[in-house]
Homo-oligomer: A and B are copies of this chain.
Amino acid sequence: MTPGFTGGTLDRADALRHDAEALAAKLADARVLALDGLMPAVAADGQLAWIARDAVPADAELVLLGLDAQGRAHAAVLPAAGEEGTAPAMRSPALMAVLAALQPGEAATYATARSLLDWHARHRFCARCGATTHAFRAGWGRLCDACGTEHFPRVDPVVIMIAEHDGRALLGRGKGWPEGRYSALAGFLEPGESIEEAVAREIGEEAGVRVGQVRYVASQPWPFPSSLMIACVGVAEDDAITLDTNELEDAMWVPREMVRAVLAGEAGPFLPPPPYAIAHTLLTVWAAEPAAG
């Protein structure tokens, strides 16, 4: 059960980011990711579409995505000043349709590029002193033009989890979700807490359920705009639900056999999360476990 947005095949070639000369040589004939804004172009075989280095302006700034098995550089064009959006780039139904046509490892490469480009677009200034910054390290950071502070792309850890109790999983539905959709609960991990503590806090805040032991299941990058999704199961101490209606519209306990049936495509009390979301991976792994929790 491979989570969505994983399995990319490019070698990130970290050493090249620190070697300006070698980097320039590699980028001179790089393949450049074909994008319309942040939307990818998909070739007929489910691969990402790439264009030649000389098909983009000579002064375009490139971020090195990595090297393929033949050692050939793959890159993406950094957005120019003025191209930044006013808000983080979130997912759209149109993008999800495009992603469904991509081979899994290709979606991983796209996710990397998307998170990086969005970060550059929204981090042109130094958070420490307010001056302008410029890209460095092959696009894997920005350096302040005034105070020299180094800034690196954000990755925001998010815990996503079910509680389990007596062979049932706690699923919730957020406001504005598609009709019938229920999924794992989720929230940003905060400074000063472990994954296990964040899982317990979020389940407590959103559903009023106390969990004791927490076990890790899987992770995935989620490029909307830059999350690391960390999927877990928390063992509930009892099954009383007290909804935080600011967070959730509803929550319910679903027996393991029912989760299994819904994932297998049968009709049930909820519509499952989409396959590229790690909630799908989480439910699939949990549904396949022997009845213990």
Contact = CB atoms under 8 A, between A and B. Distances in A.
A205 to B, nearest CB: 6
Copies in the complex: 2
Given A6-B197, A219-B196, A191 B130 contact: no
Contact of A154 (B154, B205, B219): B154
Contacts of A8: 192-193, 197
A153 interface: yes
A243 to B, nearest CB: 13
A85 B15 CA distance: 30
Given A192-B8, A221-B193, A125 B130 contact: yes
Interface stretch (A32-40, A89-97, A109-117, A264-272): A109-117
A40 B6 CA distance: 41
Contacts of A220: 194
Interface residues on A, range: 35 or more
A194 B3 contact: yes
A15 to B, nearest CB: 8
Contacts of A193: 6, 8, 108, 112, 221
Interface string A1-33: 001011010001011001000000000000000
B123 A128 contact: yes
A122 interface: yes
A218 B230 CA distance: 12
17 contacts: A6-B193, A8-B197, A15-B205, A15-B246, A84-B128, A86-B147, A86-B149, A115-B191, A116-B192, A122-B127, A122-B128, A122-B149, A124-B127, A127-B151, A153-B191, A155-B189, A196-B219
